[in-house]
Amino acid sequence: MKHTRIALIGSLCIFCLIMAVMPATAAPTSGSSWNSDPEHVAAMQAFVAYAGAKGEAQMNGAISYIGTISNGAGTAPLSTLETQFEGTVFSVQSMTTGDEIQQAESQLKTDRTDFVSTAKSDLKEYNGTGKALEQSVNASVMAQATTLQELENTWWTDRQTARMNEFSTNDQKRNGILANLTAKGVDVSQAQAVENQIQQEGSALNTALTSRDESAIKAANQDLATLNQQFAGIIKGYRSELRTKVTTTALPATAITPGISP
């Protein structure tokens, strides 16, 4: 990944922290269990560590430039915001649930927005230029390129491990359902066909994660979500038919005694 390209809106550098939650996953076994799953938490922590380090490098570059054009007069508020940002990034590493990390990401977004707003005001007040600001930010990010690449690699590895382990867990659950219904005499061929498609899509997802192709990852997750819905609908139909069959079998035969005409 190139760390030198910084998007500009007007004359202000926008810090590309990409503070998003881990990409949506398809039909987790249990929301509460995944929320505290160590692998999922580790992947989220790795993302914040990477995005946080990049954000800090960008902030340092901006502070350096603002300090130059203001003779140090405009850096105190920015430094305070950066310190808050760094503290939140650091705190995430000791968090144990996805909900906690999501709240921290929300705070990081707020800190980033406040930093950008303050930097924008300073840029105008001290007659700075967007181009010079961009150069300072880029130089600061490039100085941390090796560290950022290592953090990014860790994030991708943890992300792939967590996502594919979740897929395997859900796959085991689906196959368990099929085995249980088969044992009860249900023809599960339709659901099995969908399960086969899910397994193929899981392989596509793993390939996309390996190649770090975000568009392919999104497409695979969307396809998995659709297939999981199809699978759930078919299973619901099987169970409904099974309950009807069991109920019908359990009903006692009504004995009819011929009546005697008066």
pLDDT digits (tens, 9 = 90+) for 167-199: 999 999 999 999 999 999 999 999 999 999 999
Residue 5's identity, in one-letter code, is: R
- Pick the closest to residue 130 from 74, 60, 69, 54 (CA basis): 69
The predicted pLDDT at position 15 comes to 44
What is the domain partition of the chain in residue ranges? 8-152, 163-247
Q: Give the three-class secondary structure for 13.
A: strand
Q: Residues 44-63: pLDDT tens digits?
A: 999 999 999 999 999 999 99
> What pTM value is reported for the model?
0.79
Q: Which residues 6+ apart lie within 8 Å of 190 measured at CB?
A: 234
**pLDDT tens string 59-118:** 999 999 999 999 999 999 999 999 999 999 999 999 999 999 999 999 999 999 999 999
Between residues 33 and 134, the one the model is more confident about: 134
The Cα 40–Cα 61 span in angstroms is: 32
Query: Which ranges of the chain does DSSP label H, i.e. alpha helix?
Result: 31-35, 38-70, 76-92, 98-125, 130-143, 145-183, 189-211, 214-250
Q: Dihedral through CA 177, CA 178, CA 183, CA 187, nearest 10?
A: 140
